Structure 1
Amino acid sequence: MPIIVNREERRAEVVAMAFELVADRGIEALTFREIAAAAGCSTSIVSHYFGNKNELLFTVYQVANQRATARIQSMRESGAALPACFETILPIGAEAQRNWRVWLAFWARAHLDPAYFEERRRAAELSLALYREMIARSAGLEDEAQIDLAARRLIAAIAGIGLEACFAPDDWPPHRIREVLSAELESLGLAE
Structure 2
Amino acid sequence: MPKQVEHEERRATISQAVWQVVSDSGLEGLTLRAVAAAAGCTTGMVTHYFSDKKKLLAHARTEMHRRMAARIDTLPVAASARDTLYAVAEQALPLDRERHLEAIVWSQFLLTTRHDPALLAEHTRSHASWIRRLTGLVRAASPARTEPGLLDDRVRSLVACLDGLALNAVTDPNAYPADLQRRVLQTQLDLILEGNPSK
Q: TM-score, normalised by structure 2?
A: 0.83
| Residue identity matched to 2:9 | E
Q: Equivalent residue of 1:28, what SS?
A: helix
C-alpha RMSD of the superposition: 2.2
CA contact (8 A) 2:12 2:63 kept: no
| Residue identity matched to 1:62 | T
| Residue identity matched to 2:130 | S
| Residue identity matched to 2:190 | E
After superposition, the Cα gap between the structure-2 partners of 1:168 and 1:41, relative to the gap in structure 1 and judged at 3 Å, is closer
After superposition, the Cα gap between the structure-2 partners of 1:24 and 1:146, relative to the gap in structure 1 and judged at 3 Å, is same
Q: Aligned partners of 2:23, 2:144: CA distance in 1, in Å?
A: 38
Map of 1:1-192 to 2, 5 A cutoff? 6-75=6-75, 78-80=76-78, 81=83, 82-139=85-142, 141-143=144-146, 144-189=148-193, 191-192=197-198
Q: Aligned partners of 1:151, 1:84: CA distance in 2, in Å?
A: 15
Q: Aligned partners of 1:91, 1:117: CA distance in 2, in Å?
A: 23
CA contact (8 A) 1:72 1:89 kept: no
**What stretches of structure 1 of length at least 5 have no aligned partner?**
none
| Larger mean Cα displacement after TM superposition, 133-142 or 23-32 | 133-142
| Larger mean Cα displacement after TM superposition, 166-175 or 119-128 | 166-175
| Larger mean Cα displacement after TM superposition, 166-175 or 90-99 | 166-175
| Larger mean Cα displacement after TM superposition, 84-93 or 177-186 | 84-93
Deviation at 1:30, TM superposition (A): 2.0
**What stretches of structure 2 of length at least 5 have no aligned partner?**
none
CA contact (8 A) 1:36 1:43 kept: yes
| Larger mean Cα displacement after TM superposition, 91-100 or 124-133 | 91-100
After superposition, the Cα gap between the structure-2 partners of 1:156 and 1:102, relative to the gap in structure 1 and judged at 3 Å, is same
Percent identity among equivalent residues? 31
Q: TM-score, normalised by structure 1?
A: 0.86
